[in-house]
C-alpha cells in the first residue's frame, strides 16, 4: 500500500565549523518521503518555487515518489539556513525565508485522497487538518510536529490529536506539551489527548512507543560519527510509515519492527549532509543494520 506525505519541501543551507553546504534538498516532507520510498510507493504533497532545482525533481522521481501533489508556484522555494557547533549537538537558525511556503494550501489530487497511510510530517497543524479534511477514510494517520507549533498553534494541534492514530514528537516537545519530566508520565497524558499510538523520539538515545500492546523501547543505531542530524526525525517517521504501509498484518503486529526500520533509515540520514547519504542507501544496507540492531539488543 502507499503512503501520502505532506510537509515542508525546502532548500537547506547547512554550515558546520568544517564545511558549508548551500541549498541542499531539505524539509520534513523531503526527508520523510525519501525514507518511506525504500519500502513503499509515496505520494508527496508540498510546494516549491520556480527556483527549485530540476535535479531535486529528478531525485524525487528516482525514488519513485509521485509528484502529482507537488505544487510549483511563482516565487522562491522555502529556504532555511542553520549552523551547527563542532559537537553537532547545538544548532542555531541563521535565516528562514518562507517564500511560496508562506501561502501554501495543500490540494490533494483525486487519486491521493484514497491513500491508506497518511503521514502529516512537520508543518502547521492547520495545514495538517486541511489535508485530513480532504482524505477519504485513511487506514492509519500519523502526525509529527515541532516546538514552534506548541508555541503558536496549540489549539489547532490539540484538535488534531483527536483526529489521528499516531503522534510522534521529541522528548523536549513532550515535556512542553504535558509539563511532565518523566517520559512515561508524559506518554500517559498524551494518550488522553487522543492518539492511540504515541512515540517519543530521544535522538541518539532511541525512541519509545506507547500503544495498545504496551510500550516498546526502540534503540537508535549506534553511530561513531554524526555528520548532520538535520532531518533524522523526519527520516525516522518516514521509514516507519513506509515499512508499515508495506507490511502484511495489523499495525499492532508491525509497528515495533517499523520503528526499527525508521531508526536505521534515520541513522543513514545522520551520516551525510542533507539527503546526501540517504540517497546512496540500498535496501540491503538497511537490512544489514536491522540485523545488527537485533544483535545489539539481544540478551
- All cell numbers assigned to 205: 538515545
Q: How far is the CB of 220 from a copy of itself (least distance, A)?
A: 8
Whichever of 285 and 297 has its CB closer to a copy of itself, that residue is 297
Q: How far is the CB of 209 from a copy of itself (least distance, A)?
A: 10
Q: What size, in residues, is the chain?
A: 299
Whichever of 151 and 225 has its CB closer to a copy of itself, that residue is 225
Whichever of 198 and 259 has its CB closer to a copy of itself, that residue is 259
Per DSSP bridges, beta strands 207-211 and 214-218 are: antiparallel
Helices (H) and strands (E) in the chain, counts: 10, 13
Whichever of 56 and 273 has its CB closer to a copy of itself, that residue is 273
Find where cell 525519501 sits.
34
Whichever of 69 and 239 has its CB closer to a copy of itself, that residue is 239
Task: Report the C-alpha gap between 144 and 120 in whole angstroms.
Answer: 6
Whichever of 157 and 293 has its CB closer to a copy of itself, that residue is 293
Q: How far is the CB of 283 from a copy of itself (least distance, A)?
A: 18
Q: How far is the CB of 256 from a copy of itself (least distance, A)?
A: 4
Distances (CA, A) of 81 to 72, 74, 84, 149: 21, 21, 10, 19
Task: Report the C-alpha gap between 76 and 97 in whole angstroms.
Answer: 9
Q: How far is the CB of 18 from a copy of itself (least distance, A)?
A: 15
Per DSSP bridges, beta strands 20-26 and 10-15 are: antiparallel
Binding site for a copy of itself (CB under 8 A): 87-89, 181-185, 188, 202, 204-206, 208, 214-219, 222-226, 256-257, 259-260, 294-299
Q: How far is the CB of 190 from a copy of itself (least distance, A)?
A: 14
Angle at 98 between CA 150 and CA 65, to 5 degrees: 90
In contact, 266 and 225? CB cutoff 8 Å: no
Amino acid at each position: 500500500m502507499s503512503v501520502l506525505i505532506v510537509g515542508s519541501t525546502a532548500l537547506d543551507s547547512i554550515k558546520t565549523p568544517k564545511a558549508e553546504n548551500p541549498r541542499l534538498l531539505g524539509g520534513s516532507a523531503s526527508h520523510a518521503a525519501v525514507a518511506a520510498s525504500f519500502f513503499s510507493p509515496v505520494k508527496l504533497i508540498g510546494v516549491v518555487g520556480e527556483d527549485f532545482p530540476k535535479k531535486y525533481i529528478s531525485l524525487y522521481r528516482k525514488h519513485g515518489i509521485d509528484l502529482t501533489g507537488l505544487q510549483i508556484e511563482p516565487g522562491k522555494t522555502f529556504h532555511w539556513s542553520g549552523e551547527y557547533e563542532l559537537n553537532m549537538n547545538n544548532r542555531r537558525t541563521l535565516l528562514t525565508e518562507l517564500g511560496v511556503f508562506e501561502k501554501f494550501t495543500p490540494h490533494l489530487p483525486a487519486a491521493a485522497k484514497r491513500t491508506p497511510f497518511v503521514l502529516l510530517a512537520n508543518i502547521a497543524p492547520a495545514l495538517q487538518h486541511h489535508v485530513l479534511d480532504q482524505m477519504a477514510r485513511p487506514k492509519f494517520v500519523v502526525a509529527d510536529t515541532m516546538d514552534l507549533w506548541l508555541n503558536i498553534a496549540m489549539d489547532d494541534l490539540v484538535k488534531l490529536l483527536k483526529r489521528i492514530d499516531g503522534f510522534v514528537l521529541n522528548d523536549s516537545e513532550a515535556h512542553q506539551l504535558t509539563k511532565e519530566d518523566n517520559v512515561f508520565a508524559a506518554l500517559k497524558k498524551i494518550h488522553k489527548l487522543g492518539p492511540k499510538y504515541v512515540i517519543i523520539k530521544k535522538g541518539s538515545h532511541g525512541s519509545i512507543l506507547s500503544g495498545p500492546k504496551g510500550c516498546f523501547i526502540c534503540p537508535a543505531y549506534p553511530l561513531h560519527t554524526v555528520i548532520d542530524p538535520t532531518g533524522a526525525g523526519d527520516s525516522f517517521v518516514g521509514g516507519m510509515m513506509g515499512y508499515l504501509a508495506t507490511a502484511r498484518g495489523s499495525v499492532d503486529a508491525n509497528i515495533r519492527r517499523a520503528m526499527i526500520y525508521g531508526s536505521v533509515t534515520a541513522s543513514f540520514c545522520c551520516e551525510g549532509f542533507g539527503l546526501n547519504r540517504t540517497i546512496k542507501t540500498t535496501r540491503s544496507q538497511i537490512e544489514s543494520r536491522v540485523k545488527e540492531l537485533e544483535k545489539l539488543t539481544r540478551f
